[in-house]
Structure 1
Amino acid sequence: MLNSPKDIFTLRQTMERQDFECYHYYDPIPPVIDFHEHEFFEVFFFLSGDVSYVIEGRTYQLRPGDILLTDNRDIHKPDIHSDKPYERFVIWIQPDFLTRTKELGSDLTACFTDASAKKYKLIRPESGVLTHLKGICEKMLRSRDGSEFGSSTLSYIYLIEFLVYLNRAYFATPDAIRKDVTENEKINEVVAYINDNLSSDLTLDRLADVCFISKSHLAHQFKTYTGLTLYQFIIKKRVTVARNMIRAGSPVMDACMRCGFNDYSNFLKAFKREFGRNPKEFQPGK
């Protein structure tokens, strides 16, 4: 185990700050975590345990030191396979805050943008960079909890340093590690179609037709690879994107219609079931 402060894990998936948060979790008994999504970007830095990670239909077989990137549209969850202690760093970053780091001269959003475009989220740093990234996380956590003058400023500086080396590690990661990803080309195609056509007819019949796959095979394979039924995935994706649109300033009804909900009452029920809040509570300034 590393020497940085250990945080008590909770199922909270909302940020308390407007910039970034960093945590070090060590669970002797691994928690049960369901599929979820969040408004911010996440860096998941795996340290130990027996874990694979499902993101949008791809399952990543994790090794200690692996890093996963998720954005504010990704539906994901860890699959924990044994009672081995589960340790990880987790960094949450608000999208607006991450975008503002471009003012420093380098596009520190690049790894997230590229990973989202390629739909491939795994980083496996070489040993020297891995050690350095761990060290930065330790310093970030100590400054987070420090009371000395400038501690919060140091925490910000360490985050910037971490993001620089994270981008370097991302773009240096070899394609060979794709062997540790379980995926299905046809299901990837279906997921991509859903993401690109949320306002369209996304019935089983329609998806089977446009993706040239039988309905029964699609239904079975989709659940196998994504961990969710087709209906569950589509609803979760639609309300997630609607939330992001509302947060960015779109009118609630506009987000509802553009994400494929033709009935506001159904949208409201699905939204509140997913987030426990009314859509209007996500409007800017609320």
Structure 2
Amino acid sequence: MKKNLKTEFTTRQYMLSQDFEIYYYSDRVLPNVTAHTHDYFEFFFFIEGNIIMYMDGKQFVPTPGTMVVIPPNLPHFARLIDGDVPYRRFVFWVTEDFLKTLGDFSEDYLYLTDKAKTSGNFSIYKFNEIEFNTIQGKVFSLIDEIHANRFGRDAKIMLAVSDFIISINRMIFENQHPNVTTSETDSLYQSLIQYIETHIDEDLSLDTLAERLHVSKYHISHVFTDTNGLPLHKYITKKRLDMCRDAILSGQDISIVSAAYGFSDYSVFYRAFTKEYGKSPKKYRDEKTRINS
């Protein structure tokens, strides 16, 4: 994404929130971090870098796409070997009270944390590229919403973190129970939807999507149309128009909205908007403003 969602790393090892915290880090140099414990769960997602992880007296070298679930009170730390490659990772901290709240709705939220708590040890899981791309999209969407100041922010954050937690639980459960897993087609479709939503301001051509998801562009086009009913390019255009409409109604400048949501040419945006909503962007905004005033 073009937005900078990276957090400066600190050695703080306690939560400021009562529910959860999530961070995206990218570092070539790290301050000294010694073995420490938490009174909450930590989900560690390794993207890239040269590190060694030390977990309760054991050590291992993670590979890209690795997730480690660390239960409360288990000593752990990471040591940076070198900064030739940025050490990139997501860190998700979540309290047992917050998980219990989710668990009251469905125990499926607790699949991974219950396993870690029962064993009293850390757990290591490996995602494939499509799964990990989906996870990254959900993390960036959640962090973006946390940093935003939009209408419905708190509700959207709750939806996003719930979706994130249940998604990683579902992926691991289905990998461990292949007889009840969803099809590869469903997984690819969900990855496409997530990638589009988190990169709406970027190039979303079939060639780009194929390169990012490591799948044939012809397969992508076929799977998307069969699953969604709309051709991929029409879905992307409609998604961008809906986001432009919401931005315009929230008071953003019409002249800059189109570029912010992926339209490279204003005239293309203008024609597409008018065709979709039956009015020019300005007329649409003025009529909606008058109705709501």
**Correspondence 1:179-194 to 2 at 5 A:** none
Deviation digits for residues 163-191 of structure 1 (CA, Å, limit 9, x no counterpart)? 112112333557xxxxxxxxxxxxxxxxx
Shift of 1:155: 1.7
**Corresponding residue of 2:127:** 125
1:134 counterpart = 2:136: yes
1:39 counterpart = 2:39: yes
Give the aligned residue type for 1:107.
D
Cα RMSD after superposing both structures:
2.0
Give the aligned residue type for 1:157.
L
**Larger CA deviation: 13-22 vs 54-63:** 54-63
Shift of 1:2: 8.1
**Corresponding residue of 1:115:** 116
Q: SS in structure 1 opposite 2:12? A: coil
Find the aligned partners of 2:13 and 2:30 in 1 and give their Cα distance. Answer: 17
Find the aligned partners of 1:124 and 1:115 in 2 and give their Cα distance. Answer: 16
Find the aligned partners of 1:3 and 1:88 in 2 and give their Cα distance. Answer: 17
Deviation digits for residues 6-54 of structure 1 (CA, Å, limit 9, x no counterpart)? 1111111111111111111111323321100111111111111111212
Higher gyration radius (CA): 2
Find the aligned partners of 1:40 and 1:117 in 2 and give their Cα distance. Answer: 15
Instruction: Quickly say closer, same or farther: Cα 1:120–1:21, change in 2 above 3 A.
Output: closer
Shift of 1:100: 1.1
> How many residue pairs align between the two structures?
174
Find the aligned partners of 1:106 and 1:3 in 2 and give their Cα distance. Answer: 35
Instruction: Quickly say closer, same or farther: Cα 1:57–1:117, change in 2 above 3 A.
Output: farther
Give the aligned residue type for 1:101.
L
Find the aligned partners of 2:174 and 2:34 in 1 and give their Cα distance. Answer: 31
Instruction: Quickly say closer, same or farther: Cα 1:28–1:61, change in 2 above 3 A.
Output: closer
**Corresponding residue of 1:276:** none
1:56 counterpart = 2:56: yes
Contact 2:109-2:165 within 8 A present in 1 as well = yes
Instruction: Quickly say closer, same or farther: Cα 1:151–1:108, change in 2 above 3 A.
Output: same
Instruction: Quickly say closer, same or farther: Cα 1:22–1:109, change in 2 above 3 A.
Output: same
Contact 2:25-2:88 within 8 A present in 1 as well = yes
Structure whose residues are more often helix by fraction: 2
**Correspondence 1:56-135 to 2 at 5 A:** 56-84=56-84, 85-118=86-119, 119-135=121-137
Percent identity (aligned): 26
Give the aligned residue type for 2:90.
F
Shift of 1:4: 5.0
Q: SS in structure 2 opposite 1:81? A: strand
Q: Which of residues 164, 167, 171 is equivalent to 1:165?
A: 167
Find the aligned partners of 1:159 and 1:25 in 2 and give their Cα distance. Answer: 18
**Corresponding residue of 1:145:** 147
* Unaligned ranges ≥5, structure 1: 175-286
Report the TM-score, using the length of structure 2 for normalisation: 0.55
Deviation digits for residues 49-88 of structure 1 (CA, Å, limit 9, x no counterpart)? 1112121133232011211111112111112212232111
Q: Which consecutive aligned stretches of 4+ in structure 1 deviate over 6 angstroms post-superposition?
A: none
Find the aligned partners of 2:3 and 2:64 in 1 and give their Cα distance. Answer: 17
Find the aligned partners of 1:86 and 1:23 in 2 and give their Cα distance. Answer: 13
Deviation digits for residues 72-107 of structure 1 (CA, Å, limit 9, x no counterpart)? 121111122122321111111111111110122233
Give the aligned residue type for 2:88.
E
* Unaligned ranges ≥5, structure 2: 177-293
Find the aligned partners of 1:109 and 1:163 in 2 and give their Cα distance. Answer: 9
Instruction: Quickly say closer, same or farther: Cα 1:28–1:82, change in 2 above 3 A.
Output: closer
Find the aligned partners of 1:28 and 1:101 in 2 and give their Cα distance. Answer: 36
Find the aligned partners of 2:16 and 2:152 in 1 and give their Cα distance. Answer: 21
Give the aligned residue type for 2:35.
F
